[in-house]
Structure 1
Amino acid sequence: MASGQDLLRRPYADEEDPAIRHRAIPDDAAPPTSGEKTRPARSKRVASLDVFRGLTVALMILVDGAGGEWPVIGHAPWNGCNLADFVMPFFLFIVGMAIPLSLKRIPSRARALRRVMVRTLKLLFWGIILQGGYSHAPDKLTYGVDMKQIRWCGILQRIALAYMVVAVLEILTKDTKFEDQSTTSCSLFKLYCWQWLFGACVLAIYFAVIYGTYVPDWEFTVHDSDSQDYGKGFKVICGTRGSLDPPCNAVGYVDRQVLGINHMYRGPAWKRSKACTYGSPHAGPLRNDAPAWCQSPFEPEGIVSSISAILSTIIGVHFGHVLVHMKSHLNRLKQWISIGISLLVFGIILHFTHAIPLNKQLYSFSYVCVTAGAAAIVFSIFYFLVDILGLRNLFRPLEWIGMNAMLVFVMAAEGIFEGFLNGWYYESTNNTLVYWIQKHIFIQVWHSRRVGILLYVVFAQILFWGLVAGILHRLGIYWKL
């Protein structure tokens, strides 16, 4: 039996496909002897990345399904960081980590660029279809969107932007002469110094915009048909520079000018803030003295915040470089955990000293640090448990979800399958199959709506789709972009 030290030093190499085939090839395999037929080395999956991706998709399903009943699960109304606020940066971190692994096997830069652009266009297409307003699932049995009010930004659109920028940067800056060479942490930073310099430029641009842009007064019209102020126009007084508050920050101002206020998200998390509702952090009716901006749109996946989000992907790329270049488990874990803890501590200090608050809506620098640090630590734990200790069976459902992440994202997180089930109703569209399952199998059994909804999401959505993804894996069926 191998000792713990041997386990930590047993090497893997790289991964081949970021979406499905995360594989690693031992670099200590003996070369073929004279006269022996050369055979390709048998590869071993780096399953921890699939598990981590599956966990992130599962968190998104949990957030969308139970966040309304459990505020600690849902997004923070403004400053702060709840469970839901880790989902987007985890996705970006995973995308970044997969980039050097997927591009390593493509020697032609032209072919690699073509592949990146095709994937980017696919992500943009599905992002607009799913989050642009065309799909009304799972709550409404209708579809279609007024092009005057279509939402241009969203989760997949942000992933597409970050993936395209960082993947092109990787293609243009990588040196194939050093791809298969082992290296130290210092030389690794030096080898990819241009990527870190680009990240510093991204951060400088972000700071210049949010602290240097003058935000004038602005107006909007309420388009929410459920609001008593439907059709009314309101004016928000700003006339300031460098504000990080909800109504007058430069992130929202740029989106209003470029995207147009009618093309922004109409249900921002700030509607649950204390200034807007008595039930904060729960959603509820507006306060009588609620400021006008409580009813205005705000784009949490907008232009300026997406520029900052590129940093999460760049950090993920570095972790992919570690996996490619460092051949020892121990050295990899040292690098990952040290960087993760440093980022986490630095981000927390920035937040609690009130220098830069944690804020997902603005994608603040402290938020980048804390979430990237958390992603590094979570992935390192999975890597140790799954790929080193071999406890893979404990995480099979998450691994299966991670191997078919796009399918589960569309069907479960975006509610397409649940919307299909809601098409089967009895007497009234309010009495759907999903409603019946939630009420009679979960809520009434536990005599609590909060607990019942949570268990419904865990078992009827996350575990269910984990098993479905497992069946599809056995059949060799995957949805790849």
Structure 2
Amino acid sequence: MEDPRKLEEGFASNPQLPNEDEDHEGKKVHGISNETEEQKKEEPLVKQKTKRVATLDAFRGLTIVLMILVDDAGGAYPRIDHSPWNGCTLADFVMPFFLFIVGVAIALALKRVPNINYAIRKITLRTLKLLFWGILLQGGYSHAPDDLSYGVDMKQIRWFGILQRIALVYCVVALIETFTTKLRPTSLDPGYFSIFTAYKWQWVGGFIAFVIYMVTTFSLYVPDWSFVVNDNDKLERYTVKCGMRGHLGPACNAVGYVDRQIWGINHLYDQPVWARLRACTFSSPGSGPFRMDAPSWCRGPFEPEGLLSSISAIVSGTIGIHYGHVLIHFKGHAERLKQWVSMALVLLIVAIILHFTDAIPINKQLYSFSYVCFTAGAAGIVFSGFYLLIDVWGKRMPFLFLEWIGMNAMLVFVMAAQGIFEAFVNGWYFKDSDNNLVNWIQQHVFNDVWKSERVGTLLYVIFGEILFWAVVSGILHKLGIYWKL
């Protein structure tokens, strides 16, 4: 386990000249330095520790907290759950916030690469680990937390998911950062846009991803498609009529078509949020039975973390790495905040114009360009606010629980957000699987006391999950225990 205080997610008093040789994960690199023995002798015996940016942990922790909140309380409060199609709710900020902070961390972790081949191996290994955990947790093998069974039919395994998308974005953005390490400037030229030109290859990578997504979305021909639904052991086939290009609705968009062609329709997520649209159910925006006149696509599968939309998500990581570059090159708080906030405002304005002119609606399921801009702008504002409060004004105490969760983000994601710990507790039941400790606490400690299942659910998520894991993360932090990929 690594002490996060040693991770390369901080910055030295001179960001261009860090005090220790570290790899992209923050570990000290032994035996791969290019320095000569004479240079090593000239180094001071006592080296100054790099200062850790607490904002990164707090932002990462906030993202995990949002995920737990919307996943487990979204059913009781549909307004915070994922938007059924166009629009943006609280849940829709989670994925781009993850990708944004991944980008920031990559910039800081790779601000100096002593050995490119070693860095590439580490990036590849981390990508494979993310892919493995993504398939294991969201591919259908784990049925946590309510279903105590496990196993998945390989004919229906889900290949893509949250961690797989993070893996793709991380791999692309980190490799670009690594391969361009010799092209980095030691100092910036005067001018607001110098930071953009200094890292033009990162923006070229983001632009290529943008072009691939936009060209495919608006030019790919989407034919009719069909699927089979198992309803009470009765197989029923539905057909969706398309035959068009550039459609941004649920039925005939290119994002879904690419996934159906590459992964196969049986390997897609079979409970898409579009089933909560008014066209599908009278319970909209909540879940409910399908309307009698519901179109056929309401019952169809759709992968919200698909391949084409994940290519668009690379832009979110590119914007995040830009914020990391600003943190490295600009020493003054005012300079950093000026760069961050101004870019965030531009992104928000672009997104609002695209959305309200109906040019490109904000849509998480498609990961539309307006959605990229809107959520990245929001991430920039929140990140800047955290930086101002925590690292500039020193108001760290109220955000310590977020820092603790952020330091053990992978642990809390697996155990809480994916329900593994809750499933373990549910496995110890009395007579009936529903008669377990988790259900007893939720019913008797929260629902019965507040006489409301909705309020009880929200309070259980806040105190029984978020607060619980904040305390656990704090204890693990004190013990120096961290789960890192």
**Equivalent residues of 1:174, 1:192 under 8 A apart:** no
Q: CA deviation at 1:222?
A: 0.7
1:25 maps onto 2:12 in alignment? yes
Choose which of 368, 373, 384 in structure 2 pairs with 1:369: 373
**Equivalent residues of 1:18, 1:102 under 8 A apart:** no
C-alpha change, 1:84 and 1:108, in structure 2 (3 Å) is same
Structure 2 letter corresponding to 1:141: L
1:215 maps onto 2:202 in alignment? no
Structure 2 letter corresponding to 1:315: I
**Equivalent residues of 2:144, 2:423 under 8 A apart:** yes
Choose which of 89, 107, 127 in structure 2 pairs with 1:120: 127
Which residue does 1:294 correspond to in 2?
Answer: 298
Q: CA deviation at 1:43?
A: 2.8
TM-score, normalised to structure 2, is 0.91
Deviates more, 1:376-385 or 1:40-49: 40-49
**Equivalent residues of 2:188, 2:194 under 8 A apart:** no
Structure 2 letter corresponding to 1:253: Y
1:405 maps onto 2:412 in alignment? no
Q: For 1:428-467, what aligned pairs fall within 5 Å after superposition? A: 428-467=432-471
Between the aligned partners of 1:118 and 1:309, the Cα distance in structure 2 is 21
Q: CA deviation at 1:205?
A: 1.2
Which residue does 1:167 correspond to in 2?
Answer: 174
C-alpha change, 1:146 and 1:94, in structure 2 (3 Å) is same
Cα offsets for 1:240-291 (capped at 9, x unmatched): 1111110111110110011000000011100111111110001011111111
C-alpha change, 1:393 and 1:17, in structure 2 (3 Å) is closer
Between the aligned partners of 1:68 and 1:87, the Cα distance in structure 2 is 16
Q: For 1:221-236, what aligned pairs fall within 5 Å after superposition? A: 221-223=228-230, 227-228=231-232, 230-236=234-240
C-alpha change, 1:453 and 1:310, in structure 2 (3 Å) is same
Which residue does 1:202 correspond to in 2?
Answer: 209
C-alpha change, 1:21 and 1:472, in structure 2 (3 Å) is farther
Unaligned regions of 5+ residues in structure 1, if any? Answer: 1-15
Structure 2 letter corresponding to 1:80: G
Choose which of 237, 242, 266 in structure 2 pairs with 1:262: 266
Structure 2 letter corresponding to 1:431: N
C-alpha change, 1:171 and 1:476, in structure 2 (3 Å) is same
Q: For 1:266-345, what aligned pairs fall within 5 Å after superposition? A: 266-345=270-349
Residue 231 of structure 1 aligns to a residue whose secondary structure is strand
C-alpha change, 1:236 and 1:19, in structure 2 (3 Å) is farther
**Equivalent residues of 1:17, 1:98 under 8 A apart:** no
Which residue does 1:382 correspond to in 2?
Answer: 386
Which residue does 2:38 correspond to in 1?
Answer: none
Residue 397 of structure 2 aligns to a residue whose secondary structure is helix
Deviates more, 1:106-115 or 1:141-150: 106-115
Cα offsets for 1:367-412 (capped at 9, x unmatched): 0000000000000000011111111111111000000000000000
Between the aligned partners of 1:344 and 1:328, the Cα distance in structure 2 is 25
**Equivalent residues of 1:97, 1:318 under 8 A apart:** yes
Between the aligned partners of 2:303 and 2:190, the Cα distance in structure 1 is 42
**How many residues align structurally?**
459
Between the aligned partners of 2:250 and 2:263, the Cα distance in structure 1 is 18
Structure 1 letter corresponding to 2:448: Q
Q: CA deviation at 1:197?
A: 2.0
Between the aligned partners of 1:120 and 1:213, the Cα distance in structure 2 is 29
Q: CA deviation at 1:324?
A: 0.8
Structure 2 letter corresponding to 1:333: L
Between the aligned partners of 2:199 and 2:364, the Cα distance in structure 1 is 28
Choose which of 45, 57, 72 in structure 2 pairs with 1:50: 57
Q: CA deviation at 1:349?
A: 1.2
Residue 430 of structure 1 aligns to a residue whose secondary structure is strand
Between the aligned partners of 1:71 and 1:18, the Cα distance in structure 2 is 39
Residue 394 of structure 2 aligns to a residue whose secondary structure is coil
**Equivalent residues of 2:226, 2:237 under 8 A apart:** yes
C-alpha change, 1:20 and 1:38, in structure 2 (3 Å) is closer
Q: CA deviation at 1:192?
A: 1.0
Deviates more, 1:99-108 or 1:114-123: 99-108
Structure 2 letter corresponding to 1:306: S
Cα offsets for 1:56-84 (capped at 9, x unmatched): 00000001110111011110000110000
Q: CA deviation at 1:195?
A: 1.7
Between the aligned partners of 1:43 and 1:203, the Cα distance in structure 2 is 35
Choose which of 73, 82, 94 in structure 2 pairs with 1:66: 73
Deviates more, 1:19-28 or 1:445-454: 19-28
1:238 maps onto 2:242 in alignment? yes
Between the aligned partners of 1:112 and 1:218, the Cα distance in structure 2 is 43
Unaligned regions of 5+ residues in structure 2, if any? Answer: 20-41
Between the aligned partners of 2:6 and 2:242, the Cα distance in structure 1 is 45
Deviates more, 1:100-109 or 1:159-168: 100-109
Structure 1 letter corresponding to 2:268: M
C-alpha change, 1:191 and 1:327, in structure 2 (3 Å) is same
Between the aligned partners of 2:158 and 2:85, the Cα distance in structure 1 is 21
Residue 55 of structure 1 aligns to a residue whose secondary structure is helix
Between the aligned partners of 1:111 and 1:324, the Cα distance in structure 2 is 22
1:423 maps onto 2:427 in alignment? yes
Structure 2 letter corresponding to 1:24: F
Between the aligned partners of 1:307 and 1:432, the Cα distance in structure 2 is 42
C-alpha change, 1:391 and 1:237, in structure 2 (3 Å) is same
Q: CA deviation at 1:180?
A: 6.3
Residue 232 of structure 1 aligns to a residue whose secondary structure is strand
* Percent of matched pairs sharing the same residue: 61
Which residue does 2:37 correspond to in 1?
Answer: none
Structure 1 letter corresponding to 2:319: I
Structure 1 letter corresponding to 2:61: G
Q: CA deviation at 1:36?
A: 12
Between the aligned partners of 2:198 and 2:121, the Cα distance in structure 1 is 25
Which residue does 2:28 correspond to in 1?
Answer: none
Cα offsets for 1:97-130 (capped at 9, x unmatched): 1112111243111111111101100000000000
C-alpha change, 1:366 and 1:18, in structure 2 (3 Å) is farther
Q: CA deviation at 1:175?
A: 3.2
